[in-house]
Amino acid sequence: MVQATRIHLTVRVPAISGGRCLETIHEILADVDGAANIHASVESKLLDVDIDPTRIATDEVEALLAKGGLPPMS
């Protein structure tokens, strides 16, 4: 049995300004196959998420955030 490799992704999201932004991030990523352990912070404006790169790429996560109105800082 082959175990999926997960990588930890930390993304700066300057638009995080309150609880609704945190909810939006969770709504965007909750159903994404390959994303887990989603945590975002209003104070640090950082999103931490574990991804399975065989299912979703880093740039796809960033594109989903931007589409949801929370573009990440490159």
C-alpha torsion angle, residues 29, 38, 70, 23 (rounded to 10): 80
Cα 34 to Cα 74: distance, rounded to the nearest angstrom: 22
Per-residue pLDDT of 27-43, as tens digits, reads 999 999 999 999 999 99
pLDDT at 5: 87
Q: Which residues in the chain land under pLDDT 70?
A: 1-4, 74
- The answer, as to whether pTM is greater than 0.85, is yes
Cα 35 to Cα 20: distance, rounded to the nearest angstrom: 20
Q: Which domains are seen in the chain, by residue range?
A: 7-67 (3.30.70.100)
Cα 47 to Cα 43: distance, rounded to the nearest angstrom: 11
